[in-house]
Structure 1
Amino acid sequence: MDHPLGFALTDESGTRAAAGRTLRLIGHVHSPAEFLIGEDTADATVWVLDVARGELHPLNRDRERTERFLAAFGAYLHDGPPAPAPMVLDARQAAERLALLRAGKVAPRAPARPAVPHRKRLRRLLEALERADPDALAASWWCGSIEQAKDDLL
């Protein structure tokens, strides 16, 4: 399953001990070499393990709630403006494009679909997160992503 924000929940095998907890590995963020996602074998809470520092950061009460958070962020991102396609130009092409841009002859591309307004997307996101796991909204790994969503940076 493809998740937003660099999360990949998998059926990784193995356990990892950190900060007095034993985690059953259930995924990673960005890369398994950077951040692992683990479910505490004692209480099923989900944590992010910073591999380099050995630090744990709370995520959610259980995997289901983590999946609900990821689904909420996925909907938030899907309903926003589409990301621009990457453009690779050689020096000549870049110079031609720059000349057209300076002459005012480059028209913006029409969006493939209209974006839902940010305020509406943000309200939906926060409501979905509150329903999924209200305790995870304060002092957890999610705080940074929530702040970025509030500032329309995702």
Structure 2
Amino acid sequence: MQITLTLNGRRCTDEIPADMTLFTYLRQKGCYSVKCGCETSSCGLCTVWMDQKPVLSCSVLAARADGHEITTMEGVQQEAVEFGTFLADEGGEQCGFCSPGFIMNVLAMVRELPNPTDEQIKEYLAGNLCRCTGYQSHLRAIKKYLAHKQKEAVR
């Protein structure tokens, strides 16, 4: 079957098997930031955006992306690096394997909830698993990043 989508701002048309996951398609297209940790929609490592909303690419068929805009971390590198610095400064990035999916969710949350409470942050990111850290460093990094973004908006 043939699909046409926009991947990180670039239009792509490809012939794919009907049962191909979006995760597999993205990896074949060179989007190596997209990781798969569980293949059961439980860990959040494979998070990408479909039309600016987070989806778990391991549980979405590539055919469903036909006609849509898909964004991976490669498509938001500047923002990812900016938040990643806060994450590293707070000790929230140890092995880094979960970071791409986590960062994609944080950036989506910032777009959707410009001033979230701690509870909203925890709820929004509940599907992101990290086996190295204790999540408090993640929360500190997010709060400092949000404060930084608010200062930037005032300028």
**Which TM-score applies when normalising by structure 1?**
0.30
More helix by share: 2
More strand by share: 1
